[in-house]
A and B are shown apart, each in its own frame.
Chain A
Amino acid sequence: MFFPSLWQAIQDSALGIYMAESAWAFPTFETIHVFAIVTVFGTIAVMDMRMIGMASKGRPLTAVSKDTLTLTWTAFVVAAISGSLLFTGKATYYMVNPWFLGKMALMGLAGLNMIAFHLIPWKNVRNFDTTPAIPGNVKRAGFLSLALWIGVICCGRMIGFTLDKYLPF
């Protein structure tokens, strides 16, 4: 585990203790986390499927992006905040859980994929915004995004089944 004293300090903080001991805090923020992740995935999937050419084919890519972007980002911020709160209660356990670490790694890759997509093909979006033919790198970015987010959610679900299987000490 990297920085064990940091995670221990988070877990021992007033917030960490509250999250671990309150009967309502964990289920409540977990519910908010579920609201947020299904919104993130549900809206990202709409955009990715347009990029792959699976759905919304008749609409400009920029129009689908406009529909989904605010929802995706708002939900992502809510997921990050609620997820961080869930983390505080058992920080040291999460930091040795391979599913949690895998989930963080996959989210990092999803972020890099998104940055690369916006830096490279998106600059020329005018050229393929409304055309039926979609460039290969746009299709690949959409497919990769779907695959990575599916991985994030699967890892996330596995954390709940394995949190007490990997002990920090």
Chain B
Amino acid sequence: MAGIGDTVFELTEWLRTTPMVDFALWLSAKEICEWVQSHSFMVPVMQMIHIFAIAMGFGSVVLFNLRLVGRSGSDTTVLQAAHRYLPWMKWSIVVLFVSGIGMILGDPVRLLVNPVFWGKIILFVLMILVSIVHLKTVMRKTKAVPTWDASTGGSIAIRTSAYGLIILWLLIMAGGRFMAYAPM
């Protein structure tokens, strides 16, 4: 555990030598940041919206992917499950992005000069890329064979990415919580 703490500390030291510091300081002097910071309800409200978006997005990711691997929703086809949960996944990511920007404006230096924050962002981008490939593959297969599902379709790659996406979401959430404890 101490090793992780040391690594985070070293990465923070390194981030401090990059132009990100100047950018964060420039951003924090902007009127919009001052407005967010001068309204004390803004950050908690953004965080609440962020948590609800995580709940709706993660709930949809879990239920859709469990359906895909045959562990849930056996009364529906994969295509029906996709129609139910995909819009919630997409819109939750949009809300997460917007409320996330709002939270950055509330404290640019603490977040942008924070290696845990960047770790989370890298995982977030990775999650979106994996989701796009995963969902495109699933939709192509269900359109070819409407009754297809990964539990009987035998695709190890799809089953792996189904579970992998759930784990990615959890890691992103962990990053979100741990970045509040990273050294300044």
A residues sitting closer than 8 Å to B (CB atoms) are 23-24, 27, 30-31, 34-35, 37-39, 41-43, 45-46, 55-56, 58-60, 63, 67-68, 71, 150, 153-154, 157-158, 161
Determine if B173 and A45 form an interchain contact, defined as CB atoms under 8 angstroms apart. no
**B20 contacts partner chain A, Cβ-Cβ < 8 Å:** no
Determine if A45 and B48 form an interchain contact, defined as CB atoms under 8 angstroms apart. no
Determine if A27 and B62 form an interchain contact, defined as CB atoms under 8 angstroms apart. no
The main secondary structure of chain B at its interface with chain A is: helix
B80: nearest residue on chain A (CB-CB)? A58
Determine if B48 and A153 form an interchain contact, defined as CB atoms under 8 angstroms apart. yes
Determine if B44 and A157 form an interchain contact, defined as CB atoms under 8 angstroms apart. yes
Determine if B47 and A41 form an interchain contact, defined as CB atoms under 8 angstroms apart. no
Instruction: Among B72, B84, B176, B180, find the residue whose CB has the most chain A CB atoms closer than 10 A.
Output: B84
> Which residues of chain B have C-beta atoms less than 8 A from A38's C-beta?
51, 54-55, 58-59, 173
Determine if B63 and A67 form an interchain contact, defined as CB atoms under 8 angstroms apart. yes
> Which residues of chain A have C-beta atoms less than 8 A from B72's C-beta?
67
Contact pick for B59, options A34, A39, A150, A157, CB 8 Å: A39
Determine how close the nearest CB of chain B comes to the CB of A108; give it in whole angstroms: 21
**B178 contacts partner chain A, Cβ-Cβ < 8 Å:** yes
When A31-B174, A43-B63 are in contact, do A153 and B84 touch as well, CB less than 8 Å? no
7 contacts between A and B (CB under 8 A): A35-B173, A38-B59, A38-B173, A42-B55, A42-B60, A157-B48, A157-B51
**B31 contacts partner chain A, Cβ-Cβ < 8 Å:** no
**B76 contacts partner chain A, Cβ-Cβ < 8 Å:** yes
